[in-house]
Chains A and B, each alone.
Chain A
Amino acid sequence: MIRALIIIAGVSLAAWIVGSQLPARSYEVRVLCLILLAASMAQSWNIIGGLANQISLGHGAFFGIGAYASTILQLSYGLSPWLGALAGMAAAMLAALLLSLPTMRLKGPYFALATLAFAEACRVVANALPMTGGPQGVSVPFLGDSWAMLQFRAPGTYLPVFIGLFALTSLVFALLANGRIGYQLRALRENEDAAEVAGVATLRTKLIGSLASAALTALCGTLFAQFTFFIDPDSVFSVSAISIRMALIAIVGGVGTLIGPILGALAIVPLEEVLSATLSQYIGGIAPFTFGLVLIAIVLLRPRGLASLPGLRLAEGGRP
């Protein structure tokens, strides 16, 4: 646990030092924020996807719920996104509970398929509902720089927010991974029957993991909406751009480890930015194409992710 705290503090501090050297309106500081967001999203996924190996391909549902909840509450009632984020987290936990009832016993590909269908269902519903603005999407109205409304003109001002998000998601992951829940999640991951016979309430344990994971993902969604000022159903509920990407980053870095999502985000986001900045206008689809290749290569060559590279062994987290 101490090692986990050192890693979280170290990465947060490094992000702060690097960020404070960059101009607040620069592209680089924006990328830094996106790296922290991506790491936070993957870390949220990692709670249930990594510790319990319940491979969700539908976390976009919770991300979208978080993004829409705060935005709609702000548009309709002028509610601060700080409160909107809490509402989004509560709504995502409710959604996770609803999804868990029928899917909790499913394993492997069946669970993956059910979650994928759930996110797709959310996307279809969001496209059809009047209050989401439908396929045209909705914009967060800009009222000037404000901490109360959590919106700023310059990306650099968001840096402490995203560092906080990163620290929070990583801390929750580390607390769960190193705590009593973590033992039980890993045990049921390895052998559900043996875990039950040893006294682990497997369904309840998975439910706790799912709720925590969904709530943190929704928080990421709210902050994403505040950062980009615009959301639409096809992007925030997207299977490939959100759900699979969250899993991809965790897998590339090392699934089930604290350091995995950090390494994954550091590898994937800059690659994404370079590809879309340089090549995308000539060859559409090059970034996701490359990720597909990366995913295949990781599965075949390094199934335990970047965290298993020699020299990074010390970083194998998730164990006290």
Chain B
Amino acid sequence: MSQLLQAVIDGLLIGGVYGVISVGLSLVFGVLGIVNFAQAEFLMIGMYVAWFAWAWLGLDPILASVLSFAVGFLLGAAVQVTLVQRVMRAPHVAQIFLTVGLLAVLENGALMLFGSTFRSVQTPYQASALKLGPLFVSVPYLLAFCAAVLVSVGLWWLLARTWLGRAIRATAQNEMAARAFGINTGRIYAVALGIGTGLTAFGGAIILPYATASPAVGTQYVVLMFTVVVLGGLGSVMGALLGGLAVGIIQALSGFVLPIQLQNLAIFVVFIALLAFRPEGLIGKARS
């Protein structure tokens, strides 16, 4: 019983981070209508930014996550202006292959720049855990989870309470109408993609205390991120956050049934089944 509870706790803590990593993907789809296959590469970029901040400046990754967000934001906005903008009205094939091409460029660009070395950080709390009766709460998981919750609240505030948030939602709903109200939708698209990739990069930084950075780390998260957002309803921000928790728990619990090598299989099966039976998502409402 306590094993089960332990798995649920770990799953929730990790899942909260999955939510933040994936919410950017959902935001990008919701606003731009683009499925960004390269999104997970920004996780990798965020990890490297935080790693270098730690190695050169001695910054803790949780703090360096601000830097990661900034770099992710700028890169994402630049990608929107230079590349994605040109295929927004193009057929799906063009959109898919543009972002798949970007995935290859970013992953292998990182390989060329940083080599294939695995990089991790040392933090004072790395191996510590809080003891709650028979249960343990890993400190790095907990810190990452708290950071994720903080940023989720921030994102909610931004979207719900600020002019920028209203402009983003208006653009997502009806670009023409938003333009008619004087919103510079071109800029909104760049900001939305920037926020989306920034959040994923932020997620890369906060997991660095318990995860290892490498150029290929993004590909490990591609299907996972898509499972989270499809579970929550592509385009739904709240859905993605809840979807993250659900995927975290599924992953933790599948450890009881499946051998460790097959741990991700549960995610793939859930994902294909979701696409087949409820592509509009279980939680949120998909954008039509």
Partners in one complex: yes
A residues at B contact (CB < 8 Å): 53, 55, 57, 99, 101-103, 105-110, 112-114, 116-118, 120-121, 124-125, 127-128, 239-240, 244, 247-248, 251, 255, 283-286, 288-289, 291-296, 298-300, 303
> What residues of chain B lie closer than 8 Å to A300, measured between beta carbons?
83, 86-87, 98
User: Which segment, of B165-173, B178-186, B275-283, faces chain A?
Assistant: B275-283
> What residues of chain B lie closer than 8 Å to A239, measured between beta carbons?
219
Cβ of B272 and Cβ of A103 under 8 Å apart?
yes
- From residue 193 to 252 of chain B, which have CB atoms closer than 8 A to chain A? 215, 219, 222-223, 226-227, 230
Cβ of A120 and Cβ of B223 under 8 Å apart?
yes
Contact partner of A289 among B112, B262, B268, CB < 8 A? B112
User: Which segment, of B101-109, B119-127, B156-164, faces chain A?
Assistant: B101-109
Compute how far the CA of A75 lies from the CA of B96 in the bound complex, rounded to whole angstroms.
39
Cβ of A108 and Cβ of B96 under 8 Å apart?
yes
Compute how far the CA of A251 lies from the CA of B102 in the bound complex, rounded to whole angstroms.
15
Cβ of A293 and Cβ of B279 under 8 Å apart?
no
> What residues of chain B lie closer than 8 Å to A110, measured between beta carbons?
275, 279
Chain A binding surface SS class: helix
Contact partner of B105 among A106, A255, A292, CB < 8 A? A292
> What residues of chain A lie closer than 8 Å to B107, measured between beta carbons?
240, 285, 288
> What residues of chain B lie closer than 8 Å to A121, measured between beta carbons?
265, 268-269, 272
Cβ of A299 and Cβ of B276 under 8 Å apart?
no
A-B contact pairs, 25 of them (CB 8 A): A55-B96, A102-B275, A110-B275, A114-B276, A116-B223, A117-B223, A118-B268, A120-B268, A121-B265, A121-B268, A124-B265, A240-B104, A240-B107, A244-B104, A248-B97, A251-B97, A285-B109, A289-B105, A292-B101, A292-B105, A292-B106, A293-B105, A299-B94, A300-B86, A300-B98
> What residues of chain B lie closer than 8 Å to A303, measured between beta carbons?
90, 93-94
Compute how far the CA of A303 lies from the CA of B89 in the bound complex, rounded to whole angstroms.
13
Cβ of A286 and Cβ of B108 under 8 Å apart?
yes
> What residues of chain A lie closer than 8 Å to B90, measured between beta carbons?
299, 303
Cβ distance A184 to chain B, nearest Cβ, rounded Å:
19
Contact partner of B264 among A107, A124, A283, A291, CB < 8 A? A124
Considering residues A114, A286, A291, which has the most beta carbons from chain B within 10 angstroms of its beta carbon? A114
Cβ of B101 and Cβ of A296 under 8 Å apart?
yes
Cβ distance A56 to chain B, nearest Cβ, rounded Å:
11
> What residues of chain A lie closer than 8 Å to B134, measured between beta carbons?
none
Cβ of A102 and Cβ of B268 under 8 Å apart?
no
Cβ of A125 and Cβ of B279 under 8 Å apart?
no
Cβ of A124 and Cβ of B261 under 8 Å apart?
yes
> What residues of chain A lie closer than 8 Å to B269, measured between beta carbons?
121
- From residue 95 to 145 of chain B, which have CB atoms closer than 8 A to chain A? 95-98, 100-109, 111-112, 115-116
> What residues of chain A lie closer than 8 Å to B277, measured between beta carbons?
102
Contact partner of A125 among B105, B112, B116, B262, CB < 8 A? B262
- From residue 42 to 56 of chain B, which have CB atoms closer than 8 A to chain A? none
**Contacts between the two chains (Cβ within 8 Å), count:** 143
Query: Given the known A-B contacts A113-B226, A114-B275, A117-B268, are A284 and B219 also in contact in the complex, defined by CB atoms under 8 Å?
Result: no
Cβ distance A60 to chain B, nearest Cβ, rounded Å:
13
Contact partner of A113 among B35, B83, B98, B264, CB < 8 A? B35
Cβ of B35 and Cβ of A284 under 8 Å apart?
no
Query: Given the known A-B contacts A239-B219, A285-B215, A295-B101, are A114 and B271 also in contact in the complex, defined by CB atoms under 8 Å?
Result: yes
Compute how far the CA of A293 lies from the CA of B98 in the bound complex, rounded to whole angstroms.
9
Cβ of A289 and Cβ of B261 under 8 Å apart?
no
User: Can you name the residue of chain B whose Cβ is closest to the Cβ of A99?
Assistant: B272
User: Can you name the residue of chain B whose Cβ is closest to the Cβ of A101?
Assistant: B276
Residue B287 interfacial (CB < 8 Å): no
User: Can you name the residue of chain A whose Cβ is closest to the Cβ of B110?
Assistant: A285
Compute how far the CA of A298 lies from the CA of B102 in the bound complex, rounded to whole angstroms.
12
Residue B273 interfacial (CB < 8 Å): yes
Compute how far the CA of A244 lies from the CA of B103 in the bound complex, rounded to whole angstroms.
11
Cβ of B100 and Cβ of A295 under 8 Å apart?
yes
User: Can you name the residue of chain B whose Cβ is closest to the Cβ of A279?
Assistant: B112
Cβ of B97 and Cβ of A247 under 8 Å apart?
yes
Cβ distance A137 to chain B, nearest Cβ, rounded Å:
15
Cβ of A293 and Cβ of B101 under 8 Å apart?
yes
> What residues of chain A lie closer than 8 Å to B226, measured between beta carbons?
113, 117
> What residues of chain B lie closer than 8 Å to A107, measured between beta carbons?
92
Cβ distance A132 to chain B, nearest Cβ, rounded Å:
12
Compute how far the CA of A99 lies from the CA of B264 in the bound complex, rounded to whole angstroms.
18
> What residues of chain B lie closer than 8 Å to A120, measured between beta carbons?
223, 264, 268
Cβ of A244 and Cβ of B100 under 8 Å apart?
yes
Cβ of A118 and Cβ of B272 under 8 Å apart?
yes
User: Can you name the residue of chain B whose Cβ is closest to the Cβ of A102?
Assistant: B276
Cβ distance B273 to chain A, nearest Cβ, rounded Å:
7
Compute how far the CA of A303 lies from the CA of B87 in the bound complex, rounded to whole angstroms.
10
Cβ of B104 and Cβ of A289 under 8 Å apart?
yes
User: Can you name the residue of chain B whose Cβ is closest to the Cβ of A292?
Assistant: B104
Compute how far the CA of A293 lies from the CA of B104 in the bound complex, rounded to whole angstroms.
8
Across chains A and B, which 5 residue pairs bring their CB atoms closest together, nearest first? Answer: A292-B104, A102-B276, A295-B101, A285-B111, A108-B92
